[in-house]
Amino acid sequence: MVKKVLLSEKIDQAGIDLLEKNNFKVEVSKGPDTENMKQGLRDAYAVIMRSTPLNKDMIDAAPELKIISRNGTGFNAVDVDEATKKGILVARVNGANSNAVAEYVLTTMLTLSRNIINADHVLKDKKNELQHGGSLPNFADKYSLNGHELTDKTLAILGLGHIGRITAQYAENFGMNVIGYDPYLKQNQVKWPLFSNLADIYSRADFLSINMPLTAETKNMITMKQMKIMKNTAIIINSARGGIINEQDLAVALNNNIIAGAAVDSFNPEPPAADNPLFTARNVILTPHMAGTTFEASEAVGIGAAQAIIDFANGKMPQFTINPGVFKK
């Protein structure tokens, strides 16, 4: 009997091709909402989830489901407890998009610190003024468009896993000082100074990169209280998960010059509501959960998510599992 793999949303074609080559039937759900997912899951052997939720109702409607494969790293949107109760393995893909996320962090740091977006807008808006003479450097001075270098600035990284470490290496190539916080690491495991007191790391940071999963411990980890500890020139980059930083507080902090800028790639909830205050906040870059979805990374993640299902069907433990205790050969 051909086993069906349901996709909550389409993944990279390379992952689909790999599943079909291994004799799986691949079907894309009519929508990632509960009712459409319940319908698609009724006869599914496996499901691949992107960032949309897989809740208890969906799992309970899937009597044939044996494995949930995340097309990515984070698994906070999957009801792992319910899956475990039903003996369903939950797998994810680690490391395949690490370079992409690290590049996103550096890209947004450079864009914000050099005032690139504002400079682009002002130059286009004031183009007629340029026709009256004067130099472009003087124009940049007039409208305060000059930014800051990364060299000798301090990057504080919350979470020194694979992504955090690559980000740290990239930052060092720019001549930055790197410090970190990771309660699961000991100092002898990394070469960068680790801080156990978050207040100490916040006060030192010129840039703060969030690279931690969303858990009960990290939810609302950064609120107005923490941002008031930071320099008013500091920039925050959240390429991890929405909910770690309080979005209401972040918007207030940006609009009141408590911090200088931010880049936000993930929201809570997703997609963000139309009245999310970050849409009207000053000096913030908002992107649609794309930090880890370059063409190269999407292909690698899609293949990884597919391979987890293929391995499982062949009686092999997938490489990265959340609840390995339910695995039975």
Cite the active site residues.
Answer: 241, 270, 289
Phi and psi at residue 202, to the nearest 5° = -60, -40
Phi and psi at residue 127, to the nearest 5° = -60, -30
Cα separation, 105 vs 101, whole angstroms: 6
CB 154 within 8 A of CB 204: yes
Peptide bond into 271 cis (omega under 30): yes
- Provide the 3-class DSSP secondary structure of residue 118: helix
Cα separation, 71 vs 108, whole angstroms: 24
* Non-local CB neighbours of 69 within 8 Å, separated by 6+ positions: 46, 47, 48, 49, 91, 92, 305, 306, 308, 309, 318
